[in-house]
Structure 1
Amino acid sequence: MNIIEIDNFSLKIKDKVLFDNVSLKIKEHSWLVLTGNIGSGKSTLLRTICKLNKEHYEGVITYKGKNIVDIPMQEHVKNIGYVMQHAINQFVMPTLEEEIIFALENLCLEPQIIDEKLDYALSITNTQEISTKHIHTLSGGERQRAAFAVALAMGSEVLILDEPFANVDKKTRNSLLTLLKDLNNQGVTIIVCDHEHHLYLNYADTFTYLSDGNLELITNPISKNSNVKLYNNTHSEQILRLENISIQQGNKELLNVDDFHIFKGITTLTGDNGTGKTTLLHAISQLKKYDGKIYFNEEKVKKSRKLYKKISTCLQDAFQQFISLMPREEISMQKDIWEHATLWQERLLKEFDLEKELDKSLYYYSGGQRKLIQLMCLLSQKTELLLLDEPFTHLDERACSFIMDWIEENKRLAGQSFIIVSHRLEPLNNRSDYHIEISNNTLHHIKGDNYGKENN
């Protein structure tokens, strides 16, 4: 039996055709993975199925044989659970516990049933410890787990996930994949949109590729090696030194670093969700309070306008980075850029079909397109050190490769250094010089065949 059917679906946003008479049948109890290039319309399709897209479309989408247009929204959200690309946008209440209770109360459930579903959702996603914390204090990965908990509490027959593991560490990702497989075995239909379709090879049964308004079946999905082999195995000059650093998160000590050196070049920073990766970047750029001293090129770091000409930060959420909602205005504000940056900007805009889109609001862009504009602006800027927090989120393989080519060019031509926080390691393979891991509340240079040399 088909639980969802898409028949002759066509959708055009302004002058751009996203879908042209697309048809798709999704079987009950199946697991479908949807992939495709940046801006191809993957998220738009998912939002349309969930009745969250206001754009007019042609064709019919049915749930269990009934046109979704005729299904009341309250009933539809119970049938189909949805985890958005940006988990934070899904929350209307300050904590996970309140969010789940609020969502279940909207279904007019009895208090006892609400309590049971709350306990179940928190337990199965291992989110009890973060359930009463304010959502804005959680890490990106913790927010993603929280969004999972809300969706699972609804007990939906279909679960739709839009890039669910973009900010999630490998351990949590594997745990959630196992959980999803158990739910799938129990009869839940799962639809996932992800650029990294190889993550689902042992879980999903159907893989589709969206391109030029059409869906194609992937008959032979390819597995990829997620290990990172480092390019450089020798130490260069030191760019940062951390001395007796202590960072608190509420009453909890997040990081405690006695004496640690970070070298010029490209450094990958990894660690489990909530270990303090983003917090460390914010401390380096003086956006987070800490005890101790941080030295940049042997000079003690102090919050000043001069510092931001030397160190810049790429935030996880591209929206938070922009001053203007119009990309052309954002680009025109740049003053001090690398000599080679103009050529790279032109290449990016042409290669990813963004030349004609610069006068449209950022709300028109897909997550990947916004990320490309954000990175384009930051990689053009003349700074000695660029801190990148999950720069590959929402990017396909082609875009990741392009961005890493640009990063390497900045390193080669201008001597720029980078610290890159990423749970997605493939783009950094044979590109990163060093690998630092946060574990047990401190920093470690990883030693071994696949990673950099030990910190001296």
Structure 2
Amino acid sequence: MGVELKGIVYPSFTKPIDFTFQSQAFTLLVGKSGSGKSTLFQIIAQLSPVPYSGQILIDGIDMRQLSVAERVQLVGILFQNPHHQFTMETLFEELVFSLENIAYPIQEIDSKIEEVVEKCSSQKILHRPIHQLSGGEKQKAALAVLFAMNPSVYLLDEPFASIDRKSRLEILGILKELVEAGKTIILCDHDLSDYEAYIDHMVELRDDEIKKIFKIPSSETREVFSKKVGYSQDLFHMDQMTCSLNNSPLFSIADFTFYEGISCILGDNSVGKSTLFRSILQFQKYKGKIRWKNRLLKKKKSLYDEITYVVQEADKQFIRASLKKELQLDDLDSENDKRVKEILQLFDLENSLDKSPYQLSGGQQKMVQLLMIMTSQATVVLLDEPFAGLDDRACDYVCRWIREDSQKGRSFLIISHRLDPLVSLVDYWIEMTSTGLKYLKEVSITRPLRSLGIEDKTEVR
């Protein structure tokens, strides 16, 4: 029977939704940012903050007739923002807490944790404070908890937004094994890379209807190339820089120069990419020196007039009560005012200016966050996973904006595990490991063949 939606009506939906997600199958749910995918997941899991009408049936069982304990063992959900997933300080404590809550045999908890941690390759983060984990590590931790709970139905909302490709493929393999063992998985994503070999069905939420897409997109591998090092002026220079986390060495950079233009930093989860950004902004302690345009970087107010930062979690960057105040619409110059109005229209946000940013979808929040930063006067912009929650049209718009600003002299450092939007944009591809940074002459990028009506405008240098 699967997951049946019968006449589901919710304030953001204009008409009832009737659809059945097939049982014991892996279904990929796609749709534009703000179309209601996360809301739909919350309704299915009975976690919606606003009442709905209609029925949710899981293998014929009405979810409203179940106790909370019965629901969480039947349906498990991974939120778009993994930070909202945890109640305890460490992954170990979260796993113990979650298993105890479903009355898992106490004498078997340790072995269950060992099994799940090994499956998710999470040994290194098991006892670290969750608030100190990187975005990708938090997503891995949240998945580990969900696997430990072992529900019949998995709802995964953008589970790979901050996860490196190697881990992404490992987790997709685990999900495929779960389906073969009888589980039902519904996963929401905007990045369609790598799914062809793993999913059974692909459906799209559009105009308050769920429709099956009969052609699952395949992927291709493209080679992209960096400009010649030294082609541009120096931007940042790291000299004998080292950084530690919890008294353990995180990374060291003996001698490296970032150049003006658009650079993308690649690297596995937990290598320290976000920490490097915080170091540049003087938020993170480090040893050694960072020079910017031949000046030693120091923490002072004027620094933040010229260097700004998009953090991974958009909701951590909002400080004002409404969307209108957050965007400071009355203070924009004519060019930025035009851009902002175009995006507000593109995302159907023109009538939401008086709303709190926290009332928006994850993708809408990310777009508002990017608008806040891109309309600033900073000459250097650090972007940490800027495409999380964004559909292809939004990524395309943001990349065009970045290109235009770069041509006017603004520089960008970008951390992203979603590389498809950057194929024709990046000047310098850089790899980060625990032992430093190095320029890559060429990079192989796996990207989906566009199949949802989006024109491919890629130019490969």
Q: What TM-score, normalized to structure 2? A: 0.93
Question: What's the counterpart of residue 299 of structure 1?
Answer: 295
1:180-217 Cα deviation digits (max 9, x unpaired)? 11111111111101112343211111100111111111
- Of 421, 434, 437, the match for 1:427: 421
Residue 236 in 1 paired to residue 232 in 2? yes
Residue 371 in 1 paired to residue 370 in 2? no
Aligned-pair CA distance for 1:325? 3.4
Question: What's the counterpart of residue 33 of structure 2?
Answer: 38
Question: What's the counterpart of residue 216 of structure 2?
Answer: 221
Residue 120 in 1 paired to residue 108 in 2? no
1:119-169 Cα deviation digits (max 9, x unpaired)? 221121121221111001111111111111100111211111000000000
Task: Report the secondary structure of 2:16's partner residue.
Answer: strand
Question: What's the counterpart of residue 454 of structure 1?
Answer: none
Question: What's the counterpart of residue 306 of structure 2?
Answer: 310
Task: Report the secondary structure of 2:156's partner residue.
Answer: strand
The answer to whether the 8 A contact 1:141-1:169 is kept is: yes
- Letter matched to residue 434 of structure 1: Y
Residue 393 in 1 paired to residue 392 in 2? no
The answer to whether the 8 A contact 1:230-1:429 is kept is: no
Report 1:37-436 matches (<5 A): 37-225=32-220, 227=222, 229-230=224-225, 232-233=227-228, 235-332=231-328, 340-413=335-408, 415-436=409-430
The answer to whether the 8 A contact 1:362-1:370 is kept is: yes
- Of 418, 440, 443, the match for 1:446: 440
Aligned-pair CA distance for 1:113? 2.6
Q: Determine the C-alpha separation between the residues in 1 that align with 2:28 and 2:14.
A: 18
Task: Report the secondary structure of 1:12's partner residue.
Answer: coil
Which segments of 5 or more consecutive residues in structure 2 lack a partner in the other structure?
446-461
Which segments of 5 or more consecutive residues in structure 1 lack a partner in the other structure?
452-456
Q: Determine the C-alpha separation between the residues in 1 that align with 2:262 and 2:193.
A: 26
Task: Report the secondary structure of 2:288's partner residue.
Answer: strand
Aligned-pair CA distance for 1:358? 1.3
Q: Determine the C-alpha separation between the residues in 1 that align with 2:258 and 2:57.
A: 55
After superposition, the Cα gap between the structure-2 partners of 1:449 and 1:270, relative to the gap in structure 1 and judged at 3 Å, is closer
Aligned-pair CA distance for 1:408? 1.0
- Letter matched to residue 356 of structure 2: S
The answer to whether the 8 A contact 1:275-1:441 is kept is: no
After superposition, the Cα gap between the structure-2 partners of 1:189 and 1:59, relative to the gap in structure 1 and judged at 3 Å, is same
Identity across matched positions, percent:
36
The answer to whether the 8 A contact 2:226-2:440 is kept is: no
Question: What's the counterpart of residue 4 of structure 1?
Answer: 3
The answer to whether the 8 A contact 1:265-1:433 is kept is: yes
Runs ≥4 in structure 1, deviation > 4 angstroms? 230-234
Task: Report the secondary structure of 2:298's partner residue.
Answer: coil
The answer to whether the 8 A contact 1:314-1:388 is kept is: yes
The answer to whether the 8 A contact 1:268-1:419 is kept is: yes
Moved more, 65-74 or 116-125: 116-125
Task: Report the secondary structure of 1:229's partner residue.
Answer: strand
Task: Report the secondary structure of 2:39's partner residue.
Answer: helix
Q: Determine the C-alpha separation between the residues in 1 that align with 2:221 and 2:270.
A: 22
Aligned-pair CA distance for 1:46? 0.6
Task: Report the secondary structure of 1:420's partner residue.
Answer: strand
Moved more, 324-333 or 257-266: 324-333
Aligned-pair CA distance for 1:231? 7.2
Aligned-pair CA distance for 1:116? 2.8
The answer to whether the 8 A contact 2:191-2:418 is kept is: no
The answer to whether the 8 A contact 1:33-1:197 is kept is: no
Q: Determine the C-alpha separation between the residues in 2 that align with 1:345 and 1:289.
A: 36
Q: Determine the C-alpha separation between the residues in 2 that align with 1:198 and 1:205.
A: 15
Q: Determine the C-alpha separation between the residues in 1 that align with 2:212 and 2:94.
A: 37
1:211-247 Cα deviation digits (max 9, x unpaired)? 1111111111222446462474562111111111111
The answer to whether the 8 A contact 1:231-1:431 is kept is: no
Aligned residues: 444
Calculate the aligned-residue CA RMSD, in Å. 1.7
Q: What TM-score, normalized to structure 1? A: 0.94
Task: Report the secondary structure of 1:20's partner residue.
Answer: coil
- Letter matched to residue 366 of structure 2: K
The answer to whether the 8 A contact 2:223-2:442 is kept is: no
Aligned-pair CA distance for 1:82? 1.3
Q: Determine the C-alpha separation between the residues in 1 that align with 2:169 and 2:307.
A: 34
